[in-house]
Amino acid sequence: MNLSGTLVSAGRRFARPLEIVRGYRRADLPADVASGVTVGLISIPQGIAFAAIAHLPPSAGLYSAVVAGIAGALWGSSRHLVTGPSTAGSILLFSILVPLVPVDSPDFLAAAALMAVFVGLYRIGFGLAGLGALVNIASRAVLLGFTTGIAALIGFGELVNVLRLPLHRSPSFLANLAGVLTDLGQAHLPSAAIGLATIAVVLVLGRIDRRVPGPLMALIAVSAGVAWLGAARLGVETSGEVPRALPELSHFPLEHLAATGVLPQLVVGGLAVALLGLFEAVSIGRVAATAGGERLDVNQELIGQGMANLAAGVFSGYPCSGSFNRTAVNLESGGRTQLASVFAGVFILGAILAFGPYTALLPKPAIAGLLIVAAGSLVDRAGIRRVFRTSQSEGVILVITFLATLLLPLEFAVLSGVILSLGLYIYQSTMPTVVPAVPDEEFRHLVERAGAPACPQLAVMSVRGSLFFGAAQHVEDALLGNLGENPGQNLLLLRLHGVDRCDVAGVEALERVVRAYRDRDGDVFLVRVRMPVQEIFDRSGFSAYLGRDHVLQQEEAIDWLFEERIDPAVCIYECEQRVFAECQALEKHHYDAALPAYVPRDRHPICHLSVEQFEQALRAHRGRAELLDVREPDEFRRGHIPGARLLPLRTIMSEAPGLSRDRPILLVCRSGRRSTRAMHWLLDLGFERVCNLKGGVLSWRARGRPLVVE
């Protein structure tokens, strides 16, 4: 793409908000507003909680939820992805900043905001450069395992809040699980009842009518009930009062941060946070896209995430990403477009300014119950079943990613699944399929079928995969291994329609295969070579080495090989199979056991005559030469050279004593291969003047010479 095209494409991506607003339908407004309010209600306590994880003031989490949620929705691709503070991002940010800046100092908040700016610039750069394909290294199995693991972590964590257990939380899931089992008897019954009631209301309303905003209705009903009964009297915790203040512009002490050496560390750390968020946000976006029946533009989503982080950094926030639980609530609440996230941001801001004191009425167990329902909706049960039914190896990757999400830090969970996926991909890429092909039952198409009866002379092999440096040795070993197992198959027909690319190592591997076959007086032929691969063959010189006439047409290849290269003597006398259509009409006879199966071609001087030379020899030795046709009787009757006597190859050794050693012997067969074999045998027996018609009856007929038909 030229520079002007690149600028136009970038302009369209940054004009995404106009596209969203112009295409908005009024019919979607009620659902988006209801979903936005529900997401906003949940985002307030979560924003405070996530900020606490990062050791930042509550306002940082709330402002991030407002501005990042709005910017991420307007510039992103997904209709349902909600952007804001996240557990993994908060933990990673804290771990990066702790060694650099004193916690609870103004520089700590400034460094967090500046890192959000760097994260935003990185992600915008990724999107403009079209690097969204990087996330494809996380396979479907990895995403399912990670999503299911996150759902389990969210559900388990919120179960603790529902039961209000006195648990000293640990980074270890197993330690937390052991603590829950130990403290289960200390569960707070009113909190548990409120959480379970919230879950029940959401599920019941969802079964009655999916259009009803169940989470919002449940939260309002339960909050009203708790307010009427009295949260303090019940001993139920609420989310707490939110401070009233607008987001302020961030102050970036760049000179101070550069002088203390913090700035370069923020640049590097921002890249790590950007990469983690890249997988996290796009993974969530894809899950939401699948659930919502839409297609995700990954590069546009990266730009949306970049704009969200830029906005968060400028307005006193910190690095953000897609949120699993808030996205799930958005889907569960029936949000239809990106404006649901915008309304959520507006609601959070309005709640901060006008209803801050009233947010203290939201019971924490009710919010936890909503998040448990949302976590359950993240689990793609049908997708998991499909993975286990389809691929055992991907099922293993799914399970390992799920366990890694539970047991390892989140920043390593996706990484572990990605490494496994890459390992599986590399393994599969270096092990292309190399399998024999045989005709189907109607002899119309070649089909890949291992263990099928094989032709003793011709191997037909299909290769599927890339012939690159990592796979070339496997393909070479498979082809030469087949030759070693079937030494008589000195002809190889390679079907390369499944080879999408080839490099120098692949070319050299094919050259070694060709050399091995030609060393055995055989040869290699190709069919169905893709154009990009053919171009590599041409540029590398392999086409010239192989011979351009060795690239055959699929429909004519087998017939041509039967006409030109396959030895009919083997077909008729040695082969018990009828693999190809051309085999079906052949008479099958057996040699006498005394007949040699193979004669080296260089043992005797041989005499191959063209049609003209053969005619001259007949005239020169008229009445004295023995003209012997070594084909079978049916072939002989269908057409033979005038004056020829039938002497099938299978009987020539037993009839040889009756042949005169003083007379020249002229041999003929269908294509010249059986007569060549007869010539070698007679020379071995001491006959000195033996010649063969090169090309046999086929060449005789092609030159317009007469045949006698009986």
**Residue 122: exposed, middle, or buried by beta-carbon count in 10 A (0-12, 13-18, 19+)?**
buried
CA-closest candidate to residue 331, choices 273, 386, 297, 284 = 284
| Residues whose CB falls within 8 Å of the CB of residue 283, separated by 6 or more in sequence, listed in order | 135, 138, 143, 146, 147, 322, 414
d(CA 488, CA 582): 19
* Sign of torsion over alpha carbons 697, 699, 701, 703: negative
Distance of alpha carbon 208 from alpha carbon 214, whole angstroms: 10
CA angle 120, 124, 126 (to 5 degrees): 115
Asked whether the beta carbons of 136 and 142 are under 8 A apart, the reply is: no
Tokens of 295: 């297609």
Token pair for residue 135?
């996330």
* Phi, psi of 455, rounded to the nearest 5 degrees: -75, 135
Angular region, 85: left φ>0, alpha ψ -120 to 50, beta rest: beta
CA separation for the pair 654, 664 (Å, rounded): 19
How does DSSP assign 453-505, residue by residue? Answer: ---SSEEEEEEES-BSTTTHHHHHHHHHHHHHH-TT--EEEEEEEE---B-HH
Closest CA to 511 of 550, 455, 563: 550
Return the closest-CA partner of residue 629 out of 686, 567, 678, 566.
678
From residue 138, alpha-carbon distances to 17, 146, 262, 304, 386 in Å are 29, 10, 32, 20, 17
SS3 of residue 447 by DSSP:
strand
| Contact in structure between 489 and 513 (CB atoms under 8 Å) | no
**Which candidate in 571, 583, 607, 669 is catalytic?**
669
DSSP secondary structure letters along 291-307? HHT----HHHHHHHHHH
Contact status, residue 463 vs residue 430, Cβ threshold 8 Å: no
Residues 6 or more apart in contact with residue 624 via CB below 8 angstroms: 663, 664
Nearest one of 540, 71, 477 to 281, comparing CA atoms: 71
Catalytic (active site) residue 607: no
Alpha-carbon distance 566 to 388, whole Å?
Answer: 47
3-state secondary structure 136-161: HHCCHHHHHHHHHHHHHHHHHHHHHH
Contact 34, 216 (CB under 8 A): yes
Which two three-digit tokens encode residue 170? 């640990």
How many CB atoms lie under 10 A from the CB of residue 411?
18
Report, as residue numbers or ranges, the catalytic residues.
669
